[in-house]
Structure 1
Amino acid sequence: MSALNKAKGFKKSKSGTYLSMAGTAFGAFGVAKQIKKARAEHDTLRLIDATVSAVAIVTGLAILYRELKRLGDDDVLLG
């Protein structure tokens, strides 16, 4: 198997999905910081932008969670 095929396969693996979830969740820190700054500056437009970003993060995590379930993850902590 070539390195390129291994890389493509990793994206669809449990490990790849967990890594994607971690990266998506890490983005939440930036969004939280953006929300805090927008509130402090009373900037409604930035607050709306940050809120939309937060919704995108939640949606992305939900999609990745669903993908984990499809991969047959039987981890006790995930339900």
Structure 2
Amino acid sequence: MSALTKAKGFKKSKTGTYLSIGTTAFGAVGVLKQAKKARSEQDTLRLIDAAISAAAIVTGVALLVRELKRIGDDDVLFG
């Protein structure tokens, strides 16, 4: 089994999904900093950008949680 095949399998595993949720949530820290800075500078355009980025993060985490539930349903031990 090649390293690339293993990496693709990891991405669809429970551990890989948890890691993806963590990295996506970590991205939220940057968005929060961007929003705070935009508010302090009264920069409406940056504030809108931060809001859209936050919506993308929420959507991404929701998709990952759905994938995690799907993986859990397919798991023989938990079925």
Fold shared by both chains (TM-score > 0.5): yes
Q: Which residues of structure 2 form unaligned runs of 5+? A: 74-79
In the alignment, the residues of structure 2 paired with residue 21 and residue 39 of structure 1 have an alpha-carbon distance, to the nearest angstrom, of 27
Report the counterpart of residue 59 of structure 1 in structure 2. Answer: 59
**Counterpart of 2:31?**
31
Question: How far, CA to CA, are the matches of 2:54 and 2:29 in structure 1?
Answer: 10
Q: For 2:12 and 2:63, locate their aligned partners in 1 and report how far apart those are by CA, in whole Å.
A: 13
Cα deviation, 1:5-63, whole Å, max 9, x if unaligned, reads 10110010001000000000000000000000000000000000000000000000000
Cα RMSD of the aligned pairs, angstroms, is 0.9
Aligned to 1:4: 4
For 1:67, the aligned partner's letter is E
Dislocated runs of 4+, deviation >4 Å? none
Letter in 2 for 1:66: R
Q: What's the TM-score once normalised by structure 2's chain length?
A: 0.90
Q: Name the counterpart of 2:21.
A: 21
SS at match of 2:42: coil
Q: Is 1:72 aligned to residue 75 of structure 2? A: no
Q: Given residue 13 of structure 1, which amino acid in structure 2 is its aligned partner?
A: S
What number of residue pairs does the alignment pair up?
Answer: 73
What fraction of aligned residue pairs are identical, expressed as a percent?
77
What TM-score, normalized to structure 1? Answer: 0.90
Pairing of 1:39-58 with structure 2 (within 5 A): 39-58=39-58
